[in-house]
Amino acid sequence: MDVIVVMRSTATEADIDHVIGRITELGLTPNISKAEFRTLIGAVGQKSPETIQQLDQLRGVDRVIAVTQPYKLASREFHESDTILDIKGIRVGGPHVNIIAGPCAIEGREMLFEIGRLVKDAGASILRGGAFKPRSSPYAYQGMGKEGLELLKQASDELDMPTITEVTDPRDVEIVAEYADIFQIGARNMQNFNLLLEVGKTDKPVFIKRGLAASITELLMSAEYVLSQGNHRVILCERGMRTFNEETRFTLDVSAVPVVQERSHLPVFVDPSHAAGKRDLVPALALAAIAAGAAGLIIEVHSCPDKAMCDGPQAVLPARFTRLMEQIKQVAEIVDHRVTRWGTAAAQPRRAESGGWMS
């Protein structure tokens, strides 16, 4: 997208339709964003030098501006208001804080349902569980595959919780979409562009983790791949970077939260579990992320981590998770967030909810 057409507040639907039609005639792809008092229309594609002048003359147009960022649809230049997603009644983004919690990997029905009930009772709004596990070693536990997806769907139905699970292969997108509510794109797949394009063709929310050594711009460009296919339901996640530090598994870049929020309208979550690598450090990183303004956290929880099939050392025990949830509420209220739990809220929003992509 090279330009944004800013419509006047008095522009009619006919004016907007006419501009969209003209953009299409010019060989560009229109993308519409409706804010509280005006409509913005992005024009995606190669433009001629005359494009801005031609669009600027159309009825109802206030001005036409060029987009300076390499990521277009993810940029606040195109979309000023925070995007707020509705995922089975859970509001994600803007002033809302949501906690995703559950085991790293689905290991069986009993374990999944036990942890699912525990995290729900503690206040988590979305259940996580990996069915496909991309591991550094080909000999490590790779997940239960379709059987794990079936268990995740059963848990979702019984516990009345939306679910998130990782998809690692474009060929698995269809089956994962059948059983889960949110696609997770792991750090190792952040630049698997064929996978990003494939999930972009669906209407499922896509949760993209920042790569181990990826810049913020590269993260936003990965989101752009999904957005470019018409799927505007994207969530970003900071999960720690590889540095010279050896005291933690990765180094959590807390500054990524406000930086992304300044540049993009998309919700930003933080994964303190993978950043820490040690369960005792997870609470501190989690609270720091909420204080920095994160829209939520994704936390690994396990009732018997010494028997976990993967990432046991970073899994928080249920009792500690319950205490952490109370602390998260306290910090969120201090920074004027609302903690979302099954449609309830606490404190007041820090930003108006009007405008933004609602999907």
Q: How far apart are the first and last CA of the chain?
A: 21
**What does the pLDDT look like over 92-137, one tens digit per residue?**
999 999 999 999 999 999 999 999 999 999 999 999 999 986 666 6
* Pairwise pLDDT comparison (214 vs 246), residue with the higher score: 214
- pLDDT at 352 > cutoff 50: no
What's the pLDDT at 136? Answer: 64
Average pLDDT over residues 144-154: 93
Backbone angles phi, psi at 222, to 5 degrees: -65, -40
3-state secondary structure (DSSP) of residue 320: helix
Average pLDDT over residues 328-344: 73
**What does the pLDDT look like over 153-197, one tens digit per residue?**
999 999 999 999 999 999 999 999 999 999 999 999 999 999 999
The DSSP-derived string for 227-243 is: HTTT---EEEEE--B--
Average pLDDT over residues 226-244: 94
Residue 256: CB partners within 8 Å, gap ≥ 6?
A: 210, 216, 238, 268
CA dihedral (199, 203, 208, 214) positive or negative: positive
The structure's pTM equals 0.85
Rounded CA gap, 197 and 185, in Å? 12
Q: Which domains occur in the chain, in start order? A: 3-66 (3.30.70.1140), 85-339 (3.20.20.70)
Average model confidence (pLDDT) for the chain? 89
* Backbone conformation region of residue 311, classed left if phi is above 0, alpha if psi is from -120 to 50, else beta: left
Residue 46: CB partners within 8 Å, gap ≥ 6?
A: 2, 27
- pLDDT at 278 > cutoff 60: yes
Size of the chain, expressed as the number of residues it contains: 359
Nearest to 268, CA basis, from 290, 285, 244, 245: 290
**What does the pLDDT look like over 299-329, one tens digit per residue?**
999 998 888 778 788 999 999 999 999 999 9
What's the pLDDT at 36? Answer: 65
Percentage of the chain modeled with pLDDT above 90 = 70
Percentage of the chain modeled with pLDDT above 70 = 90
Average pLDDT over residues 208-235: 96
Residue 142 pLDDT grade (very low, low, confident, very high; cuts 50, 70, 90)? low
Token couple for 113: 């349902």
